[in-house]
Structure 1
Amino acid sequence: MLRTPRTRLTAVGAAASLALALAACGGEESAGPTADPEEIVLSLVPSGDVDSITESAKGLESFLSKRIGIPVRAEVTESYAAAIVAMKSEQAQVAMLGPIGVVQAEDQAGAVPILQSVRYGSGTYHTQWFTNDPETYCTDEVKVVEGLKYCNGTDAAETGPAGENAIAKIKPGTSIAFVDQGSASGYYYPATQWGQVSGGDALVDLDAQFAGDHDAAVLSVARGDYPIGVSFDDAREEVAADEPKVASQVVVFAYSNEIPNDGIVVAGGISKELRTKITDAFTAMAKDPKGIKTLHAVYEIEGLEKVDTAALKKAKSVEEKFGE
């Protein structure tokens, strides 16, 4: 998702499945502007600990409410699909989503992308593949950088792809800790990448397990539940202090292609005036010292910029071809 910027490993539940089914029905265009709401609901999807993001979201509510002039209430949904359904059913007016969620919200809920996150000075990031079995997936010596382990040149690579020869070693039937069925870095991009380098079909040939967030995917591999996992780069930093096995057992061995960062979308049914107020409020928040601290606490956002439409088109292409 979000890179984001994350506890248990679960299959995707019935509620998420229902959300996906409902979302799939919604390719129609928005019916057009209606009366603006008296309250704005902001949908968030957990990239890590739910309690932590819920607490951090209070800062979003306060800042945005004052700037927009309408009460803003943040709701943490269980999945990307659920957040999109909330927008489609007019239960939410704003959502902070990963790139796949952004293009799906456009297609299924008539949402309008307004801003894109910046991290480390970049509007893109990549999936990291990691393992507790370096003898199989590392073709060179494991290197330690700032307490975390890398191989196959990932310690030096600033962008992806990297280590694709190692990805090709992942055999059909291998259990992999993915993140969420709607996550770009946690499912769409790595599953697509494995299919491209192996010639297989990730949706059929791999034993996909869904951790629910990036933290949980890392922890499941650290604790030996699964041999391989994926997450945004570098989700290990979020949990290494609390789980020593992350530093000792989890080795990053490959990266995906670059992925556009997560973004902010607004409901297509609200007025252009309110859309502008929301955009201006988030932009002001990213420039305010306290505001940017809140954005960083929620999703590690270091800045906001205009939407990169070309990058989103590439994400849309991945989404459309996924599973073919």
Structure 2
Amino acid sequence: MKRAMRFAAIGAVAALALTACASEEPADDETTAEETGGEDAGDETGEDMADPEELVLGLVPSQDMDALVEDADQLGALIEAELGIPVTTTVTDSYAGLVTAMQTGQAHIGMFGPIALVQAADQAGAQIVLQSVRYGTSTYHTQWFTNDPDTYCLDEVVEVEQEDGAIYTFCNGTDEAETGPAGEDALALIEQDTQISMVDESSASGYYYPATQLERVAGLDPLALNTLFAGGHPNSIINVASGDYAVGVSFDDARDNVVEENPQIGEEVTVFAYSDEIPNDGVAVAGDLSEDLQQRIADAMVAVIETEEGATAFDEVYSIEGLVEADLDALDAARQVEANFAGL
């Protein structure tokens, strides 16, 4: 049985001019190095500012917005209990919005997709501290799917029964492939004007990686694709299932997030290709927090996910099974995709 991998919201930040308004606000003249733990008041590392008395955890939807808000609140409460500092949550409509929130001090902890993660570091001065684990691995891939298997399936459609009894359909070897790329020959059938349902212009698996893959495999201009941004991975699945778009992308396997409402979704859309592997999403903390608080936040999140209640909360939010120290070298690959994409 094929083991369906899940990924949330995972994303990238498109070329955006983000303002550095947070860094322009003057520190309180009465703040001292002794109060903040910094050696020199007025330095540029953020050590001249006292740590906040309340932290804000920012997330981006990979599911129904109302459901994410509820799940995020539960996760925030668990982190608060472990950390001993009040934690509130905020849900932004895109990773670009969350990067801006980190940059302007409206969020202190952010859960980002891989490219947005490095953008948070590069543009907002955030510190990347943790990386997600799913099915024992810290990578995932985009899945390409269609409502027109006669066109995009170069072999027979394979039906795979899931644990809940639902039938998911695959072709071009994707039923057996655990990692990408796979089924790339079928991507050559996509033309410049083919309508494609993508996720968000700041999503790694929902835009950056598949758009770059089309440039490499089909010679298409990734900046001139006939793209609809669905605003979420499940929404992209629904767009294709409804017939609005013949082809779509999401994380593998976002059909899991739709099957409860539509048990036939796995037959209505067929997965026909995978992208290259992508580093998993992760956690960044504001760079102007003290190093001690940054470490305490990371430790608290790891401690929470190691509890039964915490494991459930992280699974509900982003299907995260574990958290490990961020692999900064692996995330450089995502940074390079963003840089190459911006240069196209």
Question: 1:83: how far off?
Answer: 0.2
- Aligned-pair CA distance for 1:232: 0.3
- Equivalent in the alignment of 2:17: 21
Distance 1:315 1:183 in 2: 11
Alignment of 1:36-185 (within 5 A): 36-146=51-161, 147-185=167-205
* Paired AA for residue 21 in structure 1: A
Work out the percentage of aligned pairs sharing the same amino acid: 53
For 2:146 and 2:23, locate their aligned partners in 1 and report how far apart those are by CA, in whole Å.
Answer: 38
SS at match of 1:21: coil
CA offsets 1:81-132 (integer angstroms, 9 cap, x no match): 0000000001111000000110100110000010000111110000000000
Distance in 2 between the 1:262 and 1:175 partners? 27
TM-score, normalisation: structure 2: 0.87
Deviations 1:123-172 (A, max 9, x none): 00000000001111100000011110000000000000001100111011
1:274 corresponds to: 293
Q: TM-score, normalised by structure 1?
A: 0.92
Deviation at 1:27, TM superposition (A): 11
How many residues align structurally? Answer: 312
Matched, 1:236 2:255: yes
How far, CA to CA, are the matches of 1:214 and 1:23 in structure 2?
28
Structure 2 gap ranges (5+) = 25-42, 162-166
Q: Distance in 2 between matches of 1:178 and 1:223?
A: 15
Q: Name structure 1 gaps, 5 residues minimum.
A: 7-15
CA distance in 2, matches of 1:24, 1:230: 33
Residue 26 of structure 1, CA deviation: 10
Which residue is 2:226 aligned to? 207
Cα distance per residue 1:179-224 (max 9 Å; x no partner): 00110000000000010001121111x2011000000000000010
Q: 1:30 to 1:282 in 2, by over 3 A?
A: farther
Verify the 8 A CA contact 2:22 2:105 in the aligned structure 1.
no
1:32 aligns with: 46
Assess, with a 3 A threshold, how the Cα gap between structure 1 residues 274 and 255 changes in structure 2: closer, same or farther: same
- Residue 128 of structure 1 contacts residue 234 of structure 1 at CA under 8 Å; is this kept in 2? yes
What do residues 240-266 of structure 1 show as CA deviations (whole Å, max 9, x unaligned)? 231245122200000000001100000
Using the alignment, how far apart are the partners of 1:81 and 1:118 within structure 2?
Answer: 23
Please tell me the root mean square deviation across aligned C-alpha atoms, in Å. Answer: 2.2
CA distance in 2: counterparts of 1:24 and 1:75, whole angstroms? 20
- Counterpart Cα distance in 2 of 1:293 and 1:144: 30
Aligned residues of 2:20 and 2:103 also touching (Cα < 8 A): no
Change (3 A) 1:25 1:168: farther
Q: Distance in 2 between matches of 1:3 and 1:316?
A: 22
